[in-house]
Structure 1
Amino acid sequence: MKAVILAAGRGRRMGRLTDTLPKPLISVLGKPIIHHIIESLPPSIDHIIVVIGYQGNKIKRYLKEKFPLVSFSFVRQDRLVGPAYALLQVKDFFTKPQERFILIYGDELPSKTEIKKCLSHNYSCLCHFISKPIPTGVVKVNKDGMIIKLVEHRKPTSKPVMAAGGVMVLNSDIFNYRKVLHQKSGEYYLTPMLNRFNKAYPMYIVLGQDDLYFTTPADIERFSK
């Protein structure tokens, strides 16, 4: 089974922390975020495709040095215009119909247990309850813990929400859905593609740690306490 890690972004809200490092290489609890991601993956993941962009060669060198026995492929994202655009860069790696894979954002910090729970379902999404008003994708679920709809909230809400985290179990049919440009941000978010995918392949939610997100240096400090 393949894993796809989206690690192309800079993370501008991290300020000076990303002047010399891409966001996935920022250290949390003594290791870069992307190091934690690789360590969280089970042995059933036999190939990891990493989408790189901003200072991508640093990510490539780090992973090849720290994980010499892991099978990696690296794909360079030429335009940093959102996660949907990034995901579509790896389409050619999937030649089997409905080939299942796990997608992880390069600034997510899943535990081994959370990854295991996500993979225990055919299709799933790791979610977090977020109490702070931040722009995020909000998940609406039914009583059985299955996703009804995802809604992109670019304007922060003052109410706690269940947010879609950066871990999803999908299949290669996701590449058949058209990416949609978010007019105000100028980026291609995954939300429209995921809503179409969810209609064909219902996704379960897996609840992760509350308020787990890294958008500013204060978030790194808060989590490291």
Structure 2
Amino acid sequence: MKAVIFAAGEGKRMHPLTLERPKPLVEVLGKPLIQHIWEVLPEAVDEVVIVVGYKREMIRDFLGDEFMGKRVTYVEQDEPLGTAHALRICKPHLENEKKFLLMYADDLHGKDGVARCVEEDFALLVSFVDDPRRFGVVVTNEDGTIKNIEEKPEHPKSNLAVTGVYVLSPKIFEYEALHTKNGEYYLTDMIEEYIRHNPMQVVESDFWVPIAYSHDIERAEEILEGLPRAN
């Protein structure tokens, strides 16, 4: 099984930490974010397709052609055209797969939640949050499949936040991100089209710490030091 990891962004919200290094190499408890993410990848994943852009050479130097027993394939996103574009340029590496895992090189996740997610054919890992307004919010059908996803709604219809972990099939490439915001094409638009034709299961996360700003690093370290990671 292959995993795709988005790691091309400049990480402007994390300045000054990301002025000298890409966000995936920012350390949490002495370990780069990308390594934390690698450690929760299921054993079934034997190859990682990683989308790189900003300071890509530093990520290549850290991961090499194989990292922690998993092959690494690099796809370069030369312009910041958004997450839908990042996935689409990975298509040649994914079109023969039955399904694949998709993650962002941003947040910390629990190993168990990711493992349960890949047990499904098509799934999205979600987390209950008190204030979901700064996240994508999932509304579900009675059978637990996704009805729709609202991007940072002012009045959320649920407390289920999108964690950025997906299990998708190559069918996703049949759908376009038609709407652009700030010149970028967003994955959420492709997912919205995808779930209109393909049921996607919701899987609840066991551990999720979103990292968007520099101060989130300190919070993440406090959580990791105080609570054991789920295995």
Q: So what's the TM-score if we normalise by structure 2?
A: 0.87
Q: Which moved more, 1:23-32 or 1:99-108?
A: 23-32
Aligned twin of 1:169: 167
Runs of 4+ in 1 over 4 A off after TM superposition: 155-160
Stretches of structure 1 that go unaligned for 5 or more consecutive residues are: none
Shift of 1:39: 1.3
Aligned pair 1:192/2:189, yes or no? yes
Distance 1:205 1:133, change over 3 A: closer
Distance 2:130 2:81 in 1: 27
Q: Is the Cα contact below 8 Å between 1:7 and 1:51 reproduced in 2?
A: yes
Check the 8 A contact 1:130/1:210 in 2, yes or no. Answer: no
The question of whether the paired residues in 2 share the 8 Å contact of 1:131 and 1:211 is answered with: no
Indicate the SS of the match to 2:193: helix
1:203 aligns with 2:204: no
Contact in 1 for aligned 2:110/2:207 (Cα 8 Å): no
Q: 2:110 touches 2:206 (CA, 8 Å); kept in 1?
A: no
Tell me, in whole angstroms, the C-alpha distance in 2 between the residues paired with 1:203 and 1:59: 32
Q: After the TM superposition, which residues 29-108 of structure 1 pair with which residues of structure 2 at under 5 Å, given as runs?
A: 29-64=29-64, 67=67, 69-96=69-96, 99-108=98-107
In structure 2, distance between residues paired with 1:211 and 1:103:
15
CA distance in 1, matches of 2:210, 2:186: 17
SS in 2 for 1:140: strand
In structure 2, the CA distance between the partners of 1:158 and 1:168, relative to structure 1 (3 Å rule), is closer
Letter aligned with residue 18 of structure 1: T
> 1:38-57, CA deviations, whole angstroms, 9 ceiling, x for partnerless residues?
11112211211000000111
What is the distance in 1 between the residues matched to 2:140 and 2:158?
A: 15
CA apart distance, 1:186: 2.8
**Mapped contact 1:138–1:164 kept (Cα < 8 A):** yes
Percent sequence identity over aligned pairs: 38
| Letter of the 2:201 counterpart | Y
Judge conservation of contact 1:5–1:49 (CA < 8 Å) in 2. Answer: yes
Deviations 1:131-177 (A, max 9, x none): 35653211111233221101122x66699832211110000111121
Which whole-Å CA distance do the structure 2 matches of 1:136 and 1:162 have between them?
Answer: 9
Partners of 1:159 and 1:198 lie apart in 2 by 18
Secondary structure of the residue that 1:42 maps to in structure 2?
A: coil
CA distance in 2, matches of 1:142, 1:115: 22
Give 3-state SS (helix, strand or coil) of 2:151's partner.
Answer: strand
Q: 1:48-91 deviations in whole A, cap 9, x for unaligned?
A: 10000001111111112882642110011011121111111101
**Structure 1 residue 211: Cα displacement:** 6.7
Q: CA RMSD in A?
A: 2.3
Give the AA of the match of 1:31.
K
